[in-house]
Amino acid sequence: MQLFIASDYMTEARTLLQDLVGPPYRYTDDTLLMGLNGAMNEIARLRPDLFADMKYQTRMNPNAVITDNIPPTYTTANVGSVVPIPPQYKQAVVFYTAGLSQLLDTEDTTDVRATGFMTLFKAAMTSLQ
């Protein structure tokens, strides 16, 4: 199973946000990481099974302390760390990351788009399609 690193999620979120010219970017790395961390916490709430037995997933640092059902937290210091989410849920995490980043934006015109991203995240995490 191929797992991706935090910066992969940030790059894809920037593409959805049309924030490719930089640095400086419109959405900071801290804002995107807040979205990624929010997605991880929402996944732990909606699909706790995805975090069960995390210590047995591949590409994890063997020295890392991992507690089952508690998602890791990402900062600018560890954007090269693996995000332990199965690849079929990667796009959902990108939707949440982009959606939360747009919700934090001060322009009112981004609210509808942000809500759309969040809806796509929830549908991807809870549907059987």
Q: What is the pTM of this model?
A: 0.84
First-last CA distance in the chain = 20
Mean pLDDT of 104-125: 85
- Torsion angle (degrees, nearest 10) of CA 122, 123, 124, 126: 80
Higher pLDDT, 127 or 36: 36
Identify the pLDDT of residue 59.
47
Identify the pLDDT of residue 120.
94
Q: Where are the domains of the chain?
A: 4-126
